């Protein structure tokens, strides 16, 4: 099985590939968002252009997008929230985090993608950058019980 880069757990040939190659349209804004992420991974920049709403294509940098996609190692897509964007909606919003590594290091691209129907198909309009929210993490002491539930001290188990 060739797992889809979008993280759905489905096979690429049954998930994002048919959308990217134009065999079927995205049924939801989230589905289009996932296909656009997969297009970055697979360097399918023509799809990134055509899946952008025509009113928002001005200034699209085909060459720059291709270089960025080729020079990045993609580490996953996390969908945070989806608002509207269903089969019967006209607009939708998908908040996501795309993780990637480039020559400058590891990055998390946090965005609220805006989507709108055009000719009955979902199209990306614009992305609003979102500041990543810090997560609160409880620090585990070396002598605390291990988080795996083994009953051993952390330092003698997973903390080795």
Would you say residue 7 lies in a domain? no
- How many Å is the maximal CA-CA distance in the chain? 62
Task: With H, G, I as helix, E, B as strand and everything else as coil, classify residue 85.
Answer: coil
Q: How far is CA 74 from the centre of its chain?
A: 10
Please state, in angstroms and rounded to a whole number, the distance separating the CA atoms of residues 92 and 130.
Answer: 16
- What would the mean pLDDT of 20-25 be, rounded to a whole number? 98
Would you say residue 54 lies in a domain? yes
The domain that holds 115 is classified in CATH as 3.10.450.50
Structure tokens at 117: 């129907």
Task: Compute the mean pLDDT over every residue in the chain, rounded to the nearest whole number.
Answer: 92
Nearest to 78 by CA among 108, 48, 103: 108
Q: What is the pLDDT of residue 44?
A: 98
What's the burial of 26, exposed, middle or buried (CB within 10 Å: 0-12/13-18/19+)? buried
Would you say residue 92 lies in a domain? yes
Would you say residue 89 lies in a domain? yes
Q: Which domain holds residue 71?
A: 12-129
pLDDT of 59 strictly over 60: yes
> Are the CB atoms for 111 and 80 separated by under 8 Å?
no
Q: Which stretch of 30-34, 46-50, 105-109, 135-139 has the lowest confidence by average pLDDT?
A: 135-139
Residues in the chain: 160
Would you say residue 52 lies in a domain? yes
Structure tokens at 43: 């360097």
Please state, in angstroms and rounded to a whole number, the distance separating the CA atoms of residues 95 and 100.
Answer: 17
The total domain count for the chain is 1
Structure tokens at 7: 């993280």
Would you say residue 134 lies in a domain? no
Would you say residue 95 lies in a domain? yes
136: CB partners within 8 A, 6+ apart: none
The reported pTM is 0.81
Would you say residue 24 lies in a domain? yes
Q: Which stretch of 30-34, 86-90, 92-96, 150-154 has the lowest confidence by average pLDDT?
A: 150-154
CA angle 69, 117, 35 (to 5 degrees): 30
Give per-residue pLDDT as tens, 71-98.
999 999 999 999 999 999 999 999 999 9
């Amino acid at each position: 099985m060739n797992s889809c880069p979008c993280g759905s757990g489905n096979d690429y040939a049954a998930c994002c590939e048919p959308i990217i190659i134009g065999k079927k349209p995205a049924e939801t804004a989230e589905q289009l968002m996932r296909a656009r992420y997969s297009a970055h991974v697979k360097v399918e920049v023509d799809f990134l252009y055509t899946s952008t709403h025509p009113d928002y294509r001005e200034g699209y940098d085909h060459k720059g997008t291709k270089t960025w996609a080729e020079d990045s190692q993609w580490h996953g897509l996390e969908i945070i929230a989806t608002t509207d964007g269903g089969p019967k909606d006209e607009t939708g919003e998908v908040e996501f985090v795309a993780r990637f590594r480039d020559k400058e290091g590891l990055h998390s691209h946090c965005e609220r993608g805006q989507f709108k129907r055009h000719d009955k198909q979902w199209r990306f309009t614009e992305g609003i950058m979102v500041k990543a929210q810090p997560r609160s993490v409880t620090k585990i002491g070396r002598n605390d019980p291990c988080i795996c539930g083994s009953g051993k001290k952390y330092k003698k188990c997973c903390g080795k």
